[in-house]
Amino acid sequence: MNSSFVILVGLAELAGLAGMGLTITWMIKYLGGFGWDGFAKQFNVHPLMMTVGMIFINGNALMLYRVTLSLNLPRIIVKFCHLGLQLLAAGCGSIGLAAVFGYHKNIGASDLYSFHSWVGLTTFIMFGIQLLFGFLFFILFFFLLPRSENLRGRFLPIHVFFGKMILILATITTCMGIQEKAMFAMADKYKDIPVQALIAHAAGISFTIFTFIVMYIMSNDSYKAQSRRDGYHLQANST
Ligand code: HEM
Residue owning the nearest CA to atom 21 of ligand 1? 177
Quote the pLDDT of residue 2.
82
Quote the pLDDT of residue 94.
98
Counting atoms of ligand 1 from 1, which one is nearest the CA of 104? 16
Whether 164 is in the pocket of ligand 1, judged by its Cβ within 6 Å, is no
Whether 47 is in the pocket of ligand 1, judged by its Cβ within 6 Å, is yes
Q: What is the mean pLDDT of residues 31-35?
A: 98
Question: Which pTM was predicted?
Answer: 0.93
Q: Compute φ and ψ for 107, nearest 5 degrees.
A: -95, 0
What is the domain partition of the chain in residue ranges? 3-238
CA of residue 236 relative to chain centroid, distance: 27
Q: Between 75 and 29, name the one with better pLDDT.
A: 29
Band of the pLDDT at 68, cuts 50, 70, 90? confident
Architecture of domain 3-238: Up-down Bundle (1.20)
CA distance linking residue 222 with residue 229, whole number of Å:
10
Segment 201-229, tens digit of pLDDT: 999 999 999 999 999 999 987 787 444 44
- Has residue 28 got a pLDDT over 80? yes
Burial of 192 (0-12, 13-18, 19+ CB in 10 A): exposed
Whether 116 is in the pocket of ligand 1, judged by its Cβ within 6 Å, is yes
Q: What is the mean pLDDT of residues 153-164?
A: 97
- Mean pLDDT, all residues of the chain: 93
DSSP string of 96-156? HHHHHHHHHHHHTPPSS-SHHHHHHHHHHHHHHHHHHHHHIIIIIHHHH-TT-HHHHHHHH
Quote the pLDDT of residue 239.
53
Q: What 3-state class would DSSP assign to 4?
A: helix
Segment 103-131, tens digit of pLDDT: 999 999 999 999 999 999 999 999 999 99
Whether 115 is in the pocket of ligand 1, judged by its Cβ within 6 Å, is no
Quote the pLDDT of residue 106.
98
Ligand 1 centroid–CA 174 distance in Å is 8
For a pLDDT cut of 70, what percent of the chain falls above it?
A: 92
Quote the pLDDT of residue 194.
98
